[in-house]
Amino acid sequence: MIAGTIRDLLQKADIAVNGDRPWDIRVHDRQWYQRVWKEKSLGFGESYMDGLWECQRVDDMICRLLRSDLVGQVRGSLKYQLHFLSGALVNLQSRVRSRMVARRHYDLGNDLFFSFLDPYLQYSCAYFHETDDLNEAQQKKLELIASKLDLKSGDRLLDIGSGWGGLARYMAEKYQCDITGVNISKEQLRHSREFCRDLPVTFVDQDYRSIKGRYDKVVSVGMFEHVGQKNYRKYMDVVSSCLEKDGIFMLQTIGRNKSARSCDPWITRYIFPNGMLPSISQISRSAEGLLNIQHLENLGPHYDRTLMAWHSNFQKAWPELYRKNRKYDQRFKRMWEFYLLSCAGAFRAGTNHLWQIVMTRHLPERKCR
C-alpha cells in the first residue's frame, strides 16, 4: 500500500518509479518505500547513500519534487517532526555548538574541497555573467562584491567567515586593502595564513560574537547560514558596532522563501550540522534599527550553475581522491553527489535563493527633487 501511495505521489511531479527518463527513480530495494515514508527527506537521502535507488539526473528530479510541493504532503514520523521543534526551543548555534560544523564539514580535508573549487577556493556562489567557466565566474563574483562594497586602497575590510582566504587574497592583491579574516575552522585558518603570506591580511580564530574593532567595510560570504534564527539580531548588532559611520556591509547568504527555525534533516545530519537558511523577513527584522538595506540582488540561478560545475569537477577528481585517501569511500561519494545535485535542484526550483544584500549604518544623503 505504501509503495503504491508513493508511486502515485511521485506521478504528480511527473516522476515515475523504474521509468526510463533521466529524472525517473529506479528502485533497487523495496525497503526504500518504507524508509521514505517514515523519514521523508532524511530517509530519501540516506537510502541514496545506501544504494537503494538511482537516478540519472538527481538535480532534475529534486527540482520537480520541490516545484510540486510533494515534500509537504507526506507526513513524517514523530522523530522526524521533533527535529524541527528543536530549532525553536534550543539555540543550536551557540558558541560551543557553532564549532561542530567547522569540525564536521570544513575540516573534512582540504584535498576534498580543493579537488572541485577554483584557484581562489571560493566555496560559495559564482557569478556566471558572460562566461561559462567556473574559475572566471568566481573572479567575477569577487569583482561584484568589491564593486558593491566600493572598495578602495587602504580600506580596513573585515571578512566574517573568511574560508580558505581566497576573498582576502584577491582584495588585498587587487585593491590594496588591510584585511582581517575571522574564522573558526582550523584547516581553513591553517591554509589561509599560508595562502595570504606577505599580504596585509590577518586571520583570527574567533567566534563572530567576540569581534571588536572598527572597519570601513564588512563582508560575509556563505557564513550567515550557520548563525541561526536565535542569533540573527546579535550578528547584526556586531556588524553595526564594527562598522564605521559611513561604512558599507555586504552580506551574501543562501535563503528560503518562508521563515523557519531549522534546516532539512538530511543536510543537518550529513553536511551542515545546525545549519539554518534565513528568509528575507528574518534578515530585515534582525537588522531593523541597526542597519539599513540599500540594495538586494538574487543570484539563485547562478548557484545552480555553480553546484553543477562543482559536481562535474568532483566526478573528475574522484578516482584520484579515492586512491589517495580511502576515508572517502563509496558511501561518502554518493553522499557528496546527493548534496551537490539536490542543492542544485533546490535553486532551480526556486525554493532556495542566493542573496547579496548591501547595508549601511545610516541612510545616505540624497538630494530632494
| pLDDT given at position 280 | 97
Low-confidence ranges of the chain (pLDDT < 70): 71-104, 106-107, 363-369
Same domain membership, residue 160 and residue 44: no
| pLDDT given at position 273 | 83
Alpha-carbon distance 290 to 236, whole Å?
7
Q: Examine residue 190 and state whether it is found in any structural domain, yes or no.
A: yes
Catalytic residues: 343
Same domain membership, residue 71 and residue 117: no
Same domain membership, residue 184 and residue 56: no
Q: Examine residue 366 and state whether it is found in any structural domain, yes or no.
A: no
Grid look-up 540624497 returns 366
Same domain membership, residue 25 and residue 63: yes
Same domain membership, residue 112 and residue 64: no
Could you give phi then psi for residue 116, rounded to 5 degrees? Answer: -130, -5
Q: Examine residue 55 and state whether it is found in any structural domain, yes or no.
A: yes
| pLDDT given at position 253 | 98
Q: pLDDT per residue over 237-296, tens digit each?
A: 999 999 999 999 999 999 999 987 777 889 988 998 878 999 999 999 999 999 999 999
Please provide the DSSP assignment of 164-221 as one string.
TSHHHHHHHHHH--EEEEEE--HHHHHHHHHHTTTSSEEEEE--GGG--S-EEEEEEE
> In this structure, which amino acid lies at residue 198?
D
Q: Residue 102 sits in a domain of what CATH number?
A: 3.40.50.150
Same domain membership, residue 273 and residue 138: yes
Alpha-carbon distance 364 to 169, whole Å?
30
| pLDDT given at position 103 | 64
Same domain membership, residue 336 and residue 240: yes
Same domain membership, residue 105 and residue 14: no
What domain range includes position 55? 2-76
Same domain membership, residue 258 and residue 217: yes
Alpha-carbon distance 253 to 223, whole Å?
7
Q: Which contiguous run of DSSP H or E holds residue 294? A: strand 292-298
Measured CA to CA in angstroms, residue 57 lies from 21, 64, 92, 242, 348 at distances of: 9, 11, 33, 45, 13
Q: Examine residue 292 and state whether it is found in any structural domain, yes or no.
A: yes
Q: Examine residue 29 and state whether it is found in any structural domain, yes or no.
A: yes
Please name which of 131, 120, 224 lies closest in space to residue 173, comparing C-alpha atoms: 120
What is the tally of structural domains in the chain? 2
Q: Examine residue 325 and state whether it is found in any structural domain, yes or no.
A: no
CB 65 within 8 Å of CB 11: no
Same domain membership, residue 215 and residue 153: yes
The cell numbers describing 140, all together, are 567575477
Same domain membership, residue 264 and residue 184: yes
Q: Examine residue 233 and state whether it is found in any structural domain, yes or no.
A: yes
| pLDDT given at position 83 | 39
250 conformational bin, left if phi > 0, alpha if psi -120 to 50, beta if neither: beta
Same domain membership, residue 176 and residue 281: yes
Beta bridge partners of 157: 179, 217
Question: Where among 76, 107, 136 does a domain terminate?
Answer: 76
Q: Examine residue 88 and state whether it is found in any structural domain, yes or no.
A: no
This prediction has a pTM of 0.91
Please provide the DSSP assignment of 49-117 as one string.
HTTSEE-TTHHHHHHHHHHHT-GGGS---HHHHHHHHHHHHS-TT-TTTHHHHIIIIITS-HHHHHTTS
